[in-house]
A and B are shown apart, each in its own frame.
Chain A
Amino acid sequence: MKNIIAQMRVFASLLYWDWSMLRRLLASRCINTCVWVIVNTVIAGYVLPVLGVTQQFGAFIVAGLCGSMGFFELYGRVIELVRDMTHDKPLLYFATLPISLPLFVMRLIIGNAMSSTMTTLCVFPCGKLVLGSGLDLSGVNWFLLVPFLLLVNILYGAAAVVMGGYIKDLVYVSNVWIRIAYPMWFMGCYQFSFQILNEALPFIAFLNRFNPIVYIFEGVRALIMGQQGFLPIEQCFFVTFVFCIVFIVWSVRLIRRRLDLI
């Protein structure tokens, strides 16, 4: 019991450490998010409708961006992690603290999730600012959306640890990004719904059933834009939760093996 309390204290202190680091970078990250959201939303809300795309596409993209911010932060997170796990392995210092391996890895995951959750929250005001009445937030179920976004960002946080755990050196980060991460994101229903994909390319839609990003986008859209036309929110919640558990367990095993930790 004494050990558990001691470990939880270290865990909480490490998260507070991460928060203190994040606070220093928060303004800069929020500006990055705003730039990205405004550019995407202006195109989706005002340019593409001229080409015949539905007027709702701006709101559709804002919802997609809510599910994407954790993904966009992945790259930087993976680079930091790979850097800290190669050569002098400065990350090992934290492995000498009185904390168990699962908590050590959970700290990495939640540290990542904290950062991407904060940037995700910037999406709403930016989207609203650009789209005005084109983005109706009155029907949003915030009691479901906030926990879902937390879950999503924990999943992205765990994905960063898994990717970092596999990449042996910084020079390979872009390979994983271009060959695996981006295709998953592009095919993962950022610019279209799963229903549309299923109508256009049923086989790709079937393969996409195994892509966690699909459930993230569909879930966020169902919660922001309404259930109609998207996968059931219960299904999105459940599958995202299951992927979350799988990625967390995977992260712990991978980091144990990669760094040869106790």
Chain B
Amino acid sequence: MDDVEGYKKDALLEIRSVNKSYGSLQVLTDINLKLYRGEVLALLGVNGAGKTTLSSLIAAVHPVATGDIVYQGSSIYHDIIAYRSIIGYCPQKISDGSGMMTVYDQLWFTGQFFGITGHVLKDRIDDILKSFSLEEVSDRRLGELSGGYRQRFALARSVIHLPHIVILDEPTVALDPHVRRQLWNYIKQMKSQGVSIVLTTHYLDEAEYLADRICVLFHGKAFFTGTAQEWMAVSGTSRLEDAFLRMLSRGDDI
């Protein structure tokens, strides 16, 4: 299902037979997945399905138990530092300790982390503030901002160094519907700039709106990988939510 129509091109990132466990708890089992250049891949599943674990493996935070993650033909573990410099990570929550610093300062530091300095960094920050409509709050402390602004900042921070891959871990969780819509537009905008995006979400409408392909995780296994339309066709439903519920109702038979 990986090489669906429209994506017959080289994979930017390949997840090969990845397993992950915590003690005796098997979290991910034999995950095989490809991420193509400029696509949005949504990881779907109920709580505990392994979405966040898989996204953090892609973000090179945690090691795999077995298997490999390959970026442009070579294992990311051969040069993890180089790999980390081409990814952007947007966590569910920003550290409370960062709340003292202004939006501008935080973006400045993030640029520094990735070796961007001087006028280049200044111009980049100006672009980012404009693109994510953060200009009006640039000199405000992060701790003073609303949840929507904070998450918008987190998105902006994840792309300041022009990464090839961005990992968004439930970026719209607990946000108002209109704020979620705003963030969707920013994610679309990121995609239009050629960034490959791994989006972890449990909002099916979000996946349907944003994702080129979805990977449905169930009990730590990749239950389905393909487009949302394909999954609905396979499930014999006309709505993504129905396909999801059908999967859940089959439970352990899967």
A residues lining the B interface (CB < 8 Å)? 3, 6-7, 9-10, 13-14, 16-17, 20-21, 24-25, 80, 83-84, 87-93, 95-100, 259-262
Contacts and interface: CB of A to CB of B under 8 A. Distances in A.
B84 A98 contact: yes
B109 interface: yes
Contact of B61 (A14, A83, A96): A96
Given A97-B84, A98-B82, A262-B80, A83 B96 contact: yes
A96 B81 contact: no
Contacts of A98: 81-82, 84-85, 113-114
Contacts of A89: 91
Interface of B: 22, 56, 59-63, 77, 79-82, 84-85, 87, 89, 91-97, 100-101, 105, 109, 112-115, 167
What is the predominant secondary structure among interface residues of chain A facing chain B?
A: helix
Given A21-B101, A95-B61, A260-B62, A88 B82 contact: no
Contacts of A262: 60-63, 77, 80
14 contacts: A6-B85, A9-B112, A10-B113, A20-B105, A20-B109, A83-B96, A87-B93, A88-B93, A90-B91, A96-B61, A96-B167, A98-B85, A99-B81, A100-B81
B81 A13 contact: no
Contacts of B109: 13, 16-17, 20
Given A6-B81, A84-B97, A260 B59 contact: no
A96 B59 contact: yes
Contacts of A10: 113
Q: 8 closest Cβ contacts across the A-B interface? A: A90-B95, A88-B93, A96-B89, A13-B112, A98-B84, A98-B85, A98-B81, A3-B81
B97 A260 contact: no
A98 B56 CA distance: 15
Contact of B113 (A21, A97, A100): A97
Contacts of B113: 10, 13-14, 97-98
Contacts of A7: 81
B60 A96 contact: yes
A6 B89 contact: no
A62 to B, nearest CB: 31
Contacts of B62: 260-262
B100 A21 contact: yes
A29 to B, nearest CB: 13
A93 B91 contact: yes
Nearest to A13: B112
B114 to A, nearest CB: 7
Contacts of B87: 96
A180 B166 CA distance: 43
Nearest to B89: A96
B92 A88 contact: yes
Given A24-B100, A84-B97, A90-B95, A3 B84 contact: no
Contact of B82 (A3, A91, A95): A3
Given A96-B61, A98-B114, A90 B81 contact: no
A18 to B, nearest CB: 10
Contacts of B22: 260
A161 B99 CA distance: 21
Given A90-B93, A98-B81, A260-B63, 16 more contacts: A3-B79, A10-B113, A13-B112, A16-B112, A17-B109, A20-B101, A84-B96, A88-B93, A90-B95, A92-B56, A93-B89, A98-B82, A260-B62, A261-B62, A262-B60, A262-B63
